Amino acid sequence: MSSVSSDSSGFDSGVVACPALFIAAPSSGQGKTTVTAAMARLFQRQGYRVRVFKTGPDYLDPQILEQASGQPVVPLDLWMAGDAFCRQALYDAAKTADLILIEGAMGLFDGEPSSADLAIRFGVPVALLMDVKGMAQTAAAIAVGLANYRQELQVAGLIANGCGTARHAQLIREALPAALPLLATLGRDEAVALPERHLGLVQPSEAKDDMERRLETGADWLQASGLTQLPPPVNFAPVPEGERAQQSALEARTENALQGMTIAVAKDAAFTFIYQANLDLLTHFGARVVFFSPLSDSTVPAADALWLPGGYPELHVEALSGNDTMRASLQAFYESGKVILAECGGFMYCLEALVDLQGQTFPMAGLLPGEAVMRPRGGCQGMQTAPLPEGDVRGHAHHRSVSRNTPEPFAFGRRQRHPAPGESLFHQRGLTASYLHLFFPSNPVAMARLWNPGFEADAAQRADK
């Protein structure tokens, strides 16, 4: 890696070189997380410090990638997080990492912005991943088409997933042009494939030993196929000077916005959908973050505000419903008027009841009228902006339930590319609730206002003194 210099403002101004690879596929279901995690484990166990990023909004894949690499995983999304956030996250990682891996989302060119847009923006070469079961030379033809669809895209080669035999791999290798080599193969092995459920992959915390076996087996496959060397280095630069000046002004405006506050965050098997970037922003503002379990704790810890993030409350509905002391504690916290943010699974928990797939109804915390009803199929997903009174905050929806008999929402989410109203947004007392998962760094000022409505007045008073 190159040295890093600083300008007179104290910001890093140098470029850092770090080996990097972007794993993308022609569609979902090709095995991107499996291969990215296996690659991370392969180089991690060789002593390299591997940093992995996930394209787009996602909570489940990053948990697996974090277990594989032993390092935190950050979402990169040019719309939700913004160019400056993504650029700085990659730059900071490059300063300490030996390898950066980025897992794509959906198909390589799907979405606006797409995985290809992200790879092109930061000059990261793409490893095309394809499930080649049922084809040989055709896999090469598809790979060539993808590699040449956009001239700006750098493609390092092809990774063949589900490759049945050495002869199968040879047929694909011989059909590929010299500029598009076969980088690695993974066989058809159920011991490598990652288990799934509704909304995505199974959380590794539910079967950590099994996940370890899968990661190690996948790494063995890649190593046996000849993937032993790091990819070439990529130059990563910090945000431009003008944007750095804006960042300085923003930080000065929100400095100590949550100083002295304690924010309690629900975190257990039912509530796991938490972006580390959101927690980092809270602590950057000066807040003390404490975690608690609505499943096993009896009361909410002493706190000034409460965050109920998303997760899988439907998988733990009996335990949540049966924890009467916790539900009473939440109701008392709500009655006090303190700030509560409830997102998706947390929103479901705030309602009066949750109806499972068998039609059974379970009492929930009852902070808001209404109930959440699980659906066997279908659902809602997509990028949206939450027009909060404190300011617009970007985020996304991804759920398999619907809410009914709820109060009149104060607003609806704005979809990224569709005029139809998005998710309902509710506000009662200090509670803000919705199916939306918010990405706090998309509008730090708005999030500071939400958590501490008086922070700007407090800052003005300090300035007067």
- Which residues are catalytically annotated? 344
Phi, psi of 250 (to 5 degrees): -65, -45
Quickly tell me which residue has 């998706």 as its tokens: 344
Taking the C-alpha atoms of residue 317 and residue 357, their distance in angstroms, rounded to an integer, is: 11
Q: Tell me the sheet residues that pair with 382.
A: 397
- The single-letter code of the amino acid at 257 is A
- Tokens (6 digits) for 28: 């979902």
Quickly tell me which residue has 């459920």 as its tokens: 197
**Are the C-beta atoms of 94 and 132 separated by less than 8 Å?**
no
- The single-letter code of the amino acid at 367 is L
Number of H helices, E strands in the chain: 14, 24
Taking the C-alpha atoms of residue 204 and residue 214, their distance in angstroms, rounded to an integer, is: 11
**Are the C-beta atoms of 289 and 364 separated by less than 8 Å?**
no
Sign of the alpha-carbon torsion through 74, 126, 397, 194 = negative
10 Å CB burial of residue 439 (0-12, 13-18, 19+) is buried
10 Å CB burial of residue 291 (0-12, 13-18, 19+) is middle
3-state DSSP assignment of residue 17:
strand
CA geometry: angle 458, 463, 464, nearest 5 deg:
100
Taking the C-alpha atoms of residue 300 and residue 366, their distance in angstroms, rounded to an integer, is: 15
Taking the C-alpha atoms of residue 407 and residue 352, their distance in angstroms, rounded to an integer, is: 12
CA geometry: angle 440, 444, 450, nearest 5 deg:
80
- The single-letter code of the amino acid at 146 is L
Residue 88, Cβ neighbours under 10 Å: how many? 21
Taking the C-alpha atoms of residue 23 and residue 126, their distance in angstroms, rounded to an integer, is: 6
Residue 95, Cβ neighbours under 10 Å: how many? 16
State the DSSP code for 320.
Answer: H
- Tokens (6 digits) for 336: 């006090």
| Measured torsion, CA atoms of residues 117, 121, 126, 128, in degrees rounded to the nearest 10 | 0
Taking the C-alpha atoms of residue 354 and residue 352, their distance in angstroms, rounded to an integer, is: 7
